[in-house]
Amino acid sequence: MSPLPPRPKPDPKAPRQSLPLLDPELREGSPAEVALGFTEEQARAEALRCLRCQKPTCIDACPLNIDIKRFILRMVEGDYAGAHDVISEQSPFPGVCGRVCQHELFCEDACIVGRRWDPVAIGSLERFAADHARLRMRELAGGDPACPSGPKVALVGSGPASLIAAFDLARKNYRVTIFEALHELGGVLAYGIPGFRLPREILNEEIARLRSLGVQFVTSFVVGKSATLDELFDEGFAAVFIGTGAGLPYLLNIPGENLIGVYTANEFLTRLNLMEAYRFPERPTPVHVGRQTVVVGGGNSAMDAARWARRMGSETTILYRRGRAELKARLEEIEHAEDEGIRFEFLAAPVALCGNHDGFVTSIECIRMELGDPDESGRRSPVPVPGSTFRIPAETVVAAIGQAPNPTLQKATPGLHTRRGKIVIDEQGQTSLHRVFAGGDVVRGGSTVILAMKDGRAAATAIHRALSPNGGNHHESRP
C-alpha cells in the first residue's frame, strides 16, 4: 500500500476567506439567501489556516463542544463527509448553526490564530461541511425511522433548545415527543429568522434527521391550553422539558402605538417568515409595508425586519438609541443591511407615533440622545437631549426592542416558579416541579440560538440522569 501524502502545513498568515454574497440588486423582493457559502477552493484554503493546536481552545468555547480541530483536519484532507460526521457526533444542525450561530462570540473568539491574525472562519467551514453533505443526509433521512423503547419524554416547543435535547435523548433510546404551538416546526428558527439568512429547506432537512431517530412531532398544540403538564404526565411521560422561548414582545409604550402600520418585530417577522406575506395574495396573510419604514432597535431582529422591509420596496431606517459601536446585532448583518441601502439613525429614540385621520401611522417623533454612565449591562446609558425632537416620515413602524417568555404555560401550571416572567431553574436545569426541566429563552430571556442549544443539551443530560436506572426506577410514579 502506498503511503498517504503528507498533510499540507498550516498557513495561519494567509488572508481569511470572505463569503461570496448575493448581489444587493438581486435581493429586493426575494427571500433568497445572501451569504452563498465557500467554494471548495475557499474551504480548503481556510481550513489550512487552522494551527491544529495541541490544546484547541475553540472546542472549550463551543457551547456544543464540537471537535473543531478534528473536523477541520478532515477538511484539510478533502474528506468533507468525514468533517460532517465529526460535527454530527455533537450536533445534528451544522447547516443551521453554520449560518446563524454567533461564532465570533464563541469558537472564533477563542481561536489562537486570532491572537495575531484574523481567526479561522470556523462557522463558514461548518456550513460548508453541512452543505456538502446535504444529498447524503437526505438519503439517510429517507430510511425507516428508529423505534426507541425507553421512557417517554415530552419537549414543549420546537425551538433550538428542544431540538438539541430531542437529538441527545433519542440517541439514548428515549421516546421523545415535541409539542409545538404553531403549525410549523423550528420555533424562532422558523418564525424569527428570514430565509435570506436561514433557508427553510436547510432547517427542515436537519429537523428530518430527528424524525429518523424516532422523534415524534405534534404541531398546533399549546401546552397550557391543549393540555396541562399534569395531563402530559398522566399520558405516561416520565419527564417534561419546557423550551417555549421568548415570544412575548416588548412594546414601545409611547402614544400612537395602536395606529395601523405599527408592528412588533415578532408579528412582522412571523407574517413574512412563517406565513410568507411577501407572496400575498397568493398567500392569505398580508403585511402592510409603506413607502417609508422605521425599525426601532439594534439587535438581529431589528436587522431582519429592516432587511425584509427593504426587500418589500420600502425606504428603511433603523432607529437606535445608542451608537453604531453598541449595536447588538452581528457585524455581518449590519454590513448586509448597509449594503442593501438601509439607513441608520443613531443616538435617537422614539417619543410618539403620529397618524392621519384614517388611523394610519405617518411619522415617528424622536429625540436625540447622548451616552451617559454605564448601565447594568455595562453599556453607556442613553440620555435624552432636551429640545432636540425631530420627525421621520414612516408609513410602517416595527418595534424590535426585545421580548419576554410567553406566560401561557406558566399561568396554567401551579407551583412553577418564575422570576420576571422567566422560569427559574436549578443548576441541573430542573424547575420547581419534579421532573420538569426548562432551558433557552424561557429561562434566559432573549438570548442566542447556540446558548439555547447549550441549555437543551444540559437539560437532556439531567433528564437522563433522573430517569436512568442508576438514578431511579424508570417506572417511578410522579408525586
At 472 the pLDDT is 42
Q: Whole-angstrom Cα distance, residue 378 to residue 383?
A: 15
At 280 the pLDDT is 74
Helix (H) or strand (E) holding 189: helix 188-191
Residue 293 · residue 398 · CB < 8 Å: yes
At 137 the pLDDT is 66
Q: Whole-angstrom Cα distance, residue 194 to residue 200?
A: 8
At 374 the pLDDT is 87
Q: Do domains 24-132 and 152-247+405-471 have the same CATH topology?
A: no
Which are the contacts of 368, defined by CB distance < 8 A and separation ≥ 6?
347, 348, 384, 385, 388, 389, 390
Residue 217 · residue 211 · CB < 8 Å: yes
| The model scores a pTM over 0.85 | yes
Q: Thinking of the domain 152-247+405-471, which architecture would CATH place it in?
A: 3-Layer(bba) Sandwich (3.50)
The distance from CA 117 to its chain's CA centroid, rounded to whole angstroms, is 28
Longest Cα–Cα distance of the chain, Å, equals: 84
Domain residue spans of the chain:
24-132, 152-247+405-471, 249-403
φ/ψ (deg, to 5) at 387: 70, 20
Q: Give the fold, CATH level 3, of 249-403.
A: FAD/NAD(P)-binding domain (3.50.50)
The set of cell numbers assigned to 48 is: 489550512
- Reduced to 3 states (helix: H, G, I; strand: E, B; else coil), residue 437 is strand
Q: Whole-angstrom Cα distance, residue 366 to residue 337?
A: 22
Q: What is the CATH number of domain 24-132?
A: 1.10.1060.10
Q: For 55-104, what is each residue's pLDDT tens digit?
A: 999 999 999 999 999 999 999 999 999 999 999 999 999 999 999 999 99
Question: Which stretches within 3-115 are classed as H helix?
Answer: 40-47, 57-61, 68-76, 80-88, 94-100, 107-110
At 207 the pLDDT is 95
At 1 the pLDDT is 44
Relative to beta strand 248-249, strand 403-404 is antiparallel
At 138 the pLDDT is 63
CA angle, residues 246, 248, 250, in degrees to nearest 5: 110
At 282 the pLDDT is 78
The set of cell numbers assigned to 245 is: 422561548
What are the pLDDT tens digits along the chain (479 aa)?
Answer: 455 566 788 888 999 999 999 999 899 888 999 999 999 999 999 999 999 999 999 999 999 999 999 999 999 999 999 999 999 999 999 999 999 999 999 999 999 999 999 999 999 999 999 999 986 666 655 667 889 889 999 999 999 999 999 999 999 999 999 999 999 999 999 999 999 999 999 999 999 999 999 999 999 999 999 999 999 999 999 999 999 999 899 999 999 999 999 999 999 999 999 888 877 777 777 898 999 999 999 999 999 999 999 999 999 999 999 999 999 999 999 999 999 999 999 999 999 999 999 999 999 999 999 999 888 878 889 999 999 999 999 999 999 999 999 899 999 999 999 999 999 999 999 999 999 999 999 999 888 999 999 999 999 999 999 998 664 434 333 33
Q: Whole-angstrom Cα distance, residue 363 to residue 472?
A: 62
The residue type of 270 is T
